[in-house]
Amino acid sequence: MRRTPYFWLQLAFTLLVCSFLLVPVFMSIVAGLTENFFVGVKSGFTTRWIGVVWELYAPTIFRSMYIALATLAVTLVVGVPAAYVLAKRPGMATRLIEEFLVLPVAIPGLAIALALIITYGGFRDFRTSWGFILVGHVLYTLPFMVRSVLAVLSSFNFQVLEESAASLGAGFWRRFFGIVLPNARSGIVAGALTVVTLSIGEFNLTWMMHTPETMTLPVGLADSYASMRLEIGSAYTLVFFIMITPLLVALQRYGVQSTRTRKGA
């Protein structure tokens, strides 16, 4: 097939846009691995800055990880049953509750954080514990879990599956864990990946809510940009990249997969 000049024009434009987005990423990675960024790459490559980041900010990395996992645990325990109940009782009330659940996404994180501080700031121990950050993250990520599970539950008639399981003698818990959950798996996994990714990257809320003892990775990033050498901030970005990329890839792949199975079913 002969390519028209129009094709080459389009290709050039696409590459231009891509490079516009990708070059800064690449530059940032290079900066994190360069001895001295102002001198340039000729100053040599090093992993020294990653070491410094590790020394200074390792706790924020681990904290971000366990807050993400705790957020996931809470959204699973709360969000999946919530989605189940919402799917089981469609109607006006259900729609309203669903909209309310999504509100935190629409409200600026800063405003939510302020509201939480005003309300719970008085409880000193709670205010200074990572549990306080957890509450913020759950509030922010829960809708994504509920929506994701709800979408899958609405895509097949799980009630008739439950009824047939019941006719075969299965009680509620057996039906819930043996029939409902396995068939909602794609939505639960997609929701879980979204929640973990959002929680690890969450800045808005966390920046407002954190104390020096409860600093997370993204807040640490801001801190390092503001007060450290450019190379350290860049190396820190690199660490963040390494953590978040596998999650994003998994999210992408699972998202594609689950839409495929749904089409096949």
Asked if 182 is part of the footprint of other proteins (rule: CB under 8 A), the reply reads yes
Whichever of 102 and 170 has its CB closer to other proteins, that residue is 170
Q: List all residues 6 or more positions away from 102 whose beta carbon is below 8 Å from its beta carbon.
A: 143, 147
**Best CA proximity match to 224, nearest among 240, 247, 200, 242:** 240
With b for 16 or more beta-carbon neighbours within 10 A and e for fewer, the 160-183 pattern comes to eebeebeeeebeeeebbeebbeeb
Whichever of 91 and 122 has its CB closer to other proteins, that residue is 91
What CA–CA distance (Å, rounded) separates 82 from 206?
25
Asked if 161 is part of the footprint of other proteins (rule: CB under 8 A), the reply reads yes
Whichever of 253 and 260 has its CB closer to other proteins, that residue is 260
Q: List all residues 6 or more positions away from 238 whose beta carbon is below 8 Å from its beta carbon.
A: 28, 29, 32, 33, 50
Place of tokens 């719970």: 120
Whichever of 44 and 178 has its CB closer to other proteins, that residue is 178
Q: Which of 122, 169, 212, 246 binds other proteins (CB under 8 A)?
A: 169
Asked if 179 is part of the footprint of other proteins (rule: CB under 8 A), the reply reads yes
- Minimum distance of other proteins from residue 166's CB (angstroms): 5
- Minimum distance of other proteins from residue 160's CB (angstroms): 5
Residues that bind other proteins (CB under 8 A): 156-157, 160-161, 163-171, 174, 179, 182-183, 185, 264-265
